[in-house]
Amino acid sequence: MGFWGRAADYLPLLMEGVWLTLVITFFSVVLSTLLGFVWAVMAWTRIPVLVAISRGFVMIIRGIPIIVQLFYIYFVMPEIGINLTAMQAGIIGLGVAYSAYQAENFRAGIDAIDKGQIEAAHSIGMTDQLVMRRVILPQAIRIVLPPFGNTIIMILKDSSLVSTITVAELTRQGQLIAASTFDNMTVFTLVALIYLALSLPLTFLTRHLEKRYSQP
């Protein structure tokens, strides 16, 4: 049986993994975006306590390998009474870890808006909330979107890390098949090709956004 024949044998199992990979990626992107936005807004308020919490959190998260964070959530949390399924732990772990990177991205986008406009908005009576919604966000989104595309790709790839906490996503399915068939060559070539097939469209989308938003 040639490569494609064997590949066809493995594909159904791998596709189950693909499904989980997509689910993890999707929810991790959502969680990291929401949390990252919260950190960025906290930093923006210039309220000392909030700024300190946001900065401190981002610093700590960025200083610890994601895989260690995953182990922490999955293996240590139960000891203090918080039991999560491997899926939940994976999504929370990736979401929280990436929220730190997203926060930096959002902060850069918010900071890039000229202060004069914000003053002008205040001078016509806009509240901070309205300034955020009507002046900062519509402009920041152009700055934030291209790096956001990259972040999605990174999360997609790093979702393979949750294989280490027993989630049977794509990478782990590959490992399992390879362990029982010893056909490392076919299995991991296939796994790599699938990741590529998932990330390439995102790469092109990001490039497109970069081009589209580089001119004002």
Partner 1 sequence: MIQVQDIHKSFGALEVIKGVSFEVKKGEVVCIIGPSGSGKSTILRCINGLESYQRGAISIEGAKVDIADRSITDIRTQVSMVFQRFNLFPHRTALENVMEGPVFVKKVSRAHARDEAAALLDKVGLGSKLGVYPAKLSGGQQQRVAIARALAMHPKAILFDEPTSALDPELVGEVLAVMRDVAAEGMTMVVVTHEMEFARAVADRVLFLEGGTIVEQGPPQDVLRNPQHPRTQDFLHRIIHPME
| Distance, CA of 181 to CA of 45 (rounded, Å) | 56
- Least CB distance to partner 1 at residue 171 (A): 42
Q: Which is closer to partner 1, CB of 15 or CB of 114? A: 114
Token digits for 110?
């918010």
Among 135, 144, 170, 191, binds partner 1 (CB under 8 A): 135
Does position 216 bind partner 1 by CB under 8 A?
yes
Site for partner 1 in 35-74 (CB under 8 A): none
Residue for token pair 């981002």? 58
- Report CA-CA distances (Å) from 89 to 43, 85, 100, 132, 161: 27, 6, 17, 32, 12
Q: Which is closer to partner 1, CB of 6 or CB of 142? A: 142
- Least CB distance to partner 1 at residue 98 (A): 28
Among 60, 120, 179, 192, binds partner 1 (CB under 8 A): 120
- Positions that interact with partner 1 (CB under 8 A): 114, 116-117, 119-127, 130, 134-135, 138-139, 216
